Amino acid sequence: MNENKLLDHINFFKIFSLEEKRLILESESYFESFEPGDVIIEEGAEESNLYIIIKGEAKVTKSSHPENVLATLGGGTVMGELSFLTKRPRSSNVVAVGKVVCFSLNAESMLQLDSAMQHKIKDQLIEVLIGRLDEMNNIYLNLVR
């Protein structure tokens, strides 16, 4: 895949300009790689990075039942947004299934971005949270019918 197109297939970055995407791609500090079995997010951890899967797959588990996979996450999935926004401990584990590359952002690196990019990230996080709320409402409605 052409490096310039790396973020184009990720819905989260759809509102970012070509120049903003280029700035992200030029800084290796925004990307983390994980090997199969690596823990990306650990339940109960206090760290609060925001992650977006660029390539690969990860599975979500709970420490109380690590053998039960709650979800499989692929490219474009946003992870850790609640801890990123609220600084609350992580609520589940996310483990790399194969090789995974993530966009990674912490509070310090967020503050180093210009205000327009910060607003775009917050706007996209609001979209993600609204989508998850809609999903949960639909699940609830299907359960009570």
Q: Residue 129 maps to which CATH number?
A: 2.60.120.10
Could you give the CA distance from residue 34 to residue 131 in angstroms, rounded to a whole number? 27
Could you give the CA distance from residue 32 to residue 105 in angstroms, rounded to a whole number? 10
The SS3 of residue 141 is: helix
Q: Return the pLDDT at 4.
A: 55
Residues spanned by the domain of 89: 3-144
Query: What is the total count of domains within the chain?
Result: 1
Taking alpha carbons only, the member of 72, 68, 74 closest to residue 10 is 74
Could you give the CA distance from residue 136 to residue 31 in angstroms, rounded to a whole number? 30
Q: What is the pLDDT of residues 94-117, one digit of tens each?
A: 999 999 999 999 999 999 999 999
Q: Return the pLDDT at 145.
A: 80
Could you give the CA distance from residue 40 to residue 28 in angstroms, rounded to a whole number? 17
Q: What predicted TM-score, i.e. pTM, was given to this entire model?
A: 0.90
Q: Return the pLDDT at 113.
A: 93
Band the pLDDT of 1: cuts 50, 70, 90: very low
Q: Return the pLDDT at 38.
A: 98
Residues 11-22: what's their mean pLDDT? Answer: 94
Q: What is the pLDDT of residues 36-75, one digit of tens each?
A: 999 999 999 999 999 999 999 999 999 999 899 999 999 9
Q: Is the pLDDT of residue 11 over 60?
A: yes
Q: Return the pLDDT at 77.
A: 97
